[in-house]
């Protein structure tokens, strides 16, 4: 029994670290989106490309800790969709924010679906995945909202994507804290036996 718990510990530790890192990067992105990026279009453009690129890198790093992209199909699909999104956003920026918001909307729907699948798959091994599952589902709704805003004539900007990133940051933080609490409970049960 102890061997199984010790074998799982590095994976759990990685997942906690990963979730805290995803929270921190998203929180900084959101802060910049609501401040400096509002008056610096070049920064906003870099951030709009960097956000899905970071998601691709994060999925790659996470999958590499658990057998690679081939073993983790939902993360492989999320990686591919995020890379394509970063390239598409870079190519579409000169055509305006409505087109970029449309791309982000499609990406949010797809990446949310893949995140939901990853959360469900991980539930058996790690537990404490309810926030990731909820985040994936909410990502789909956020994507639909972005698509409807992109179809409207009202001006749009990076601030229309920032709430999506903020909710993602929140869910990553909740997931990290849930795993931290779950690990602490496990350790105390092992110590008590």
Residue with tokens 């790659």: 60
Q: Phi and psi for 70 in degrees, rounded to 5?
A: -65, -35
Alpha-carbon distance 156 to 149, whole Å?
A: 8
pTM beyond cutoff 0.75: yes
Sign of CA dihedral 44, 47, 49, 51: negative
Task: Please check whether residue 115 is in contact with residue 88, taking contact to mean a CB–CB distance below 8 angstroms.
Answer: no
Going residue by residue through the chain (193 aa), what tens digit of pLDDT does each one get?
A: 433 333 344 477 888 999 999 999 999 999 999 999 999 999 999 999 999 999 999 999 999 988 899 999 999 999 999 999 999 999 999 999 999 999 999 999 999 999 999 888 877 776 667 888 888 899 999 999 999 999 999 999 999 999 999 999 999 999 899 888 887 887 777 777 7
65 Cβ partners below 8 Å, 6+ apart? 11, 14, 18
How many CA atoms lie less than 13 Å away from 75 in the CB half-sphere? 22
pLDDT value of residue 39: 94
CA 24, 80, 100, 144 torsion-angle sign = negative
- What count of Cα atoms within 13 Å lies in the side-chain half-sphere of residue 22? 30
171 closest CA partner among 135, 127, 119, 147: 135
- Provide CB contacts within 8 A for 134, sequence distance 6+: 171
The Cα 109–Cα 144 span in angstroms is 7
């Amino acid at each position: 029994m102890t061997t199984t718990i010790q074998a799982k510990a590095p994976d759990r530790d990685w997942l906690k670290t990963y979730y805290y890192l995803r929270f921190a990067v998203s929180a900084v992105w959101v802060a910049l989106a609501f401040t400096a990026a509002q008056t610096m279009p070049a920064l906003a453009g870099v951030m709009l490309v960097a956000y899905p690129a970071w998601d691709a890198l994060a999925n790659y790093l996470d999958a590499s800790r658990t057998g690679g992209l081939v073993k983790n199909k939902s993360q492989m699909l999320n990686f591919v969709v995020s890379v394509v999104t970063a390239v598409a956003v870079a190519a579409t920026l000169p055509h305006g924010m409505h087109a970029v918001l449309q791309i982000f909307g499609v990406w949010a729907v797809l990446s949310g679906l893949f995140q939901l699948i990853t959360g469900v798959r991980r539930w058996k091994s790690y537990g404490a995945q309810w926030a990731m599952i909820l985040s994936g589902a909410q990502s789909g709704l956020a994507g639909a909202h972005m698509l409807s805003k992109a179809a409207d004539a009202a001006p749009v900007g990076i601030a229309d994507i920032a709430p999506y990133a903020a909710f993602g940051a929140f869910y990553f933080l909740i997931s990290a804290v849930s795993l931290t609490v779950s690990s602490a409970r496990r350790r105390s049960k092992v110590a008590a036996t």
